[in-house]
A = this chain, B = another copy of it.
Amino acid sequence: MNENIGAEDLETIAFEIGVVVPKSSGNNKDGDETNDCIEVLVDEFRKAGLIIDRVVGLQNEFLRLGAPLKTLGQAAAELQLKKRTHIGVDLQFHWDEVEAYERQPDGSLFSWFERYCCYRHIIYGIVNTSTSTVILKSDGNEVHWEPGKPLLRTLESMGIVKEVFPVHDETKRKQLLRSWALNWWDFTVQPIDDICNYYGTKIASYFAFLGMYTRWMLFPAAFGLTVQLVDFGSLQLFVLSAFFISIISWAVLFFQFWKRKNSALLVRWQMNYPAVDNESKYLEGEWYQFQSPVELMKKQGADKTDKPRGKEAFQREEWLGHFMRFRNDAMIILSIICLQLPFELAFAHVYEVLRSDVSKFCLTAVYLFTIQYFNKIGGKISVKLVKYENNKNIERRADSWVYKVFGLYFMQSYIGIFYHALLHRNIMTLRQVLIQRLIISEVLENMLENSLPYLKYSFKKYRAVGNKRKREKGTSSEKTQYMSRVEKEYLKPDYSASIGEELEDGLFDDFLELALQFGMIMMFACAFPLGFAFATLNNITEIRTDALKLLAMLRRPIPRPDATIGAWLNIFQFLIVMSICTNCILLVCLYDHEGKWKISPGIAAILIMEHVLLLLKFVFSRIVPEEPAWIKANRMKNATHVHDMCSRQLLRSISGEKMHAELKKDE
């Protein structure tokens, strides 16, 4: 425990970062303690203004780091972090004008993402300021801390610091558990502000979306239930068409209103509307941990030297970017059509042909195993392709990756169902397939998603305890059984994506599940109106199980700077357009029992051409941006220029105004 800090401070300060170091073996306890690298690290942390709580676990020692507001504020000022002020404009943070900045909804000055950036800046900012290499010791080995090098990186590269990860804040976690995960009474109501404070904007926007989606879903669920259960007799086809039209309208309106809600959330969370435009360098550098710092510095240096680039350079870069993006997307689409489509069709066909249930089951098992592998490879290839694109920041890179990978999943999930639908032209068979898929995907996935992390955690814990026992045979067993909370967290799995974890976190899987479900119920709405009711039930449980997973099963996730649902918005929109077309095909196929409805190949060809052209129009409109890159760059430069020029003056007048107002209130 840190002796310099009083008890009252400790109560208010949350420990939010954990550093895992090996347990000191006690051999050099009597030796030269000043040079032990752990001690030096702790000392440097203390010097940097952090408060440290050292917990000795079974196998490792854990340093829990907390920071007083002032330490964070100074780091924020060094990072040149921009913060929303009371007049609604983002200005650079200065610690002495702290009154000018708007507070978070819970009253704290910094958001979790900002705090995380500051923590990382502080702990990775401890460099050797002397001119000579400092030699540290670690269990007998020597560590060379070279001048100008950050200490933590040096220790990380030596394997002494095993991991740095955000840790849960127990009081807040328990509060959220009560008010959110276990609060089953209000079906879709969630404490979004608290989630945002605790998990950051990206995860909060996922839950806000999920909540709103579930709430809106009640309408089509009710309508679908009516259509399914009531027999309208000869009017059936008309009722179904009405249902089709109303769910399309519902979906379009929902996403428009979601965009509105999202922009309101952005205001509430003090983010700028096009969050992309105003992101400064530090976000990229900090969040993108996979890029080595040397590379990053080189990149930033390069950026600075060719800053006064001309229009031509911008345009060249812009078009090159578009070309790379286009090429990558074309490659993905081609390989999906040429490789995946035949495979999926072959599976669907063989499944149809097989008679015995056992062989069907075996085939499905083989298929499921294959597509897992297939998806992993697809994800890796996509990650590589995306690296060649010059996306503006890590979030846009992730979006680009999501589009590519979603293509795979899209084919996988729907092509088999379509094959069944078109082959049998029988509404009952199709319904069976859909029910199977919905139940399998939703129930099984939900179970897996929640049990897998727990199993992983249990296994790790079991092994850790076992190891400990092995080593410490003979000592008192009660001490061995005790496991500190931070150690438990260390053993818990990350919130990471099943594929492509370089670019995405666990939100990918959660959103993928939602999108596939949305596609399933929308694209086959006319065949299975009950699907909406299924999905509603599933989503209501999904909210709570996801919450539980985040709060109890996993480590606290690393916060992401984005506050929108990113690529998924466009994917949902695409699914709406697709569902217009597929429902029409379904209506034709399903209600043309006698095969009387004919269409000649000429007309069919022209119809396909029409649809391709309509698609082309909207793809082209997306590919060519309306505003050239150099204009955007210019505008951004100008805006920052102004704010930089009069930032100080503004800040002073804002905080002055505020104090004045407060004084008045007091009088």
Q: Give A contacts to B, CB under 8 Å.
A: 87-89, 241, 244-245, 248-249, 252-253, 256-257, 259-260, 263-264, 267, 273, 576-577, 580-581, 584, 587-588, 591-592, 596-600, 602-603, 606-607, 609-610, 613-614, 616-617, 620-621, 624-628, 631, 634-635, 637-639, 641-643, 645-646, 649-650, 653
Contact = CB atoms under 8 A, between A and B. Distances in A.
Of residues A256, A581, A637, A643, which shows the largest number of chain B Cβ atoms within 10 Å of its Cβ? A256
Nearest to A252: B620
Give how many copies assemble into the complex: 2
A149 B95 CA distance: 54
Nearest to A626: B259
B626 A245 contact: no
A633 B576 CA distance: 31
B249 A627 contact: no
30 contacts: A88-B635, A88-B638, A89-B641, A89-B642, A241-B609, A244-B609, A245-B609, A249-B616, A252-B616, A252-B617, A252-B620, A252-B621, A253-B620, A256-B624, A260-B625, A260-B626, A264-B631, A580-B614, A584-B606, A584-B609, A584-B610, A587-B606, A598-B599, A599-B599, A599-B600, A642-B642, A642-B646, A645-B646, A645-B653, A646-B646
Contact of A645 (B584, B614, B650): B650
B267 A631 contact: yes
A89 B273 contact: no
Contact of A634 (B267, B584, B614): B267
A561 to B, nearest CB: 20
Contacts of A241: 609
Nearest to A260: B628
Contact of A638 (B89, B253, B587, B624): B89
Given A87-B638, A256-B624, A267-B631, A603 B613 contact: no
A272 B578 CA distance: 37
A602 B592 contact: yes
Given A638-B87, A642-B642, A620 B588 contact: no
A635 B294 CA distance: 38
Nearest to A646: B646
Nearest to A261: B628
A598 B594 CA distance: 17
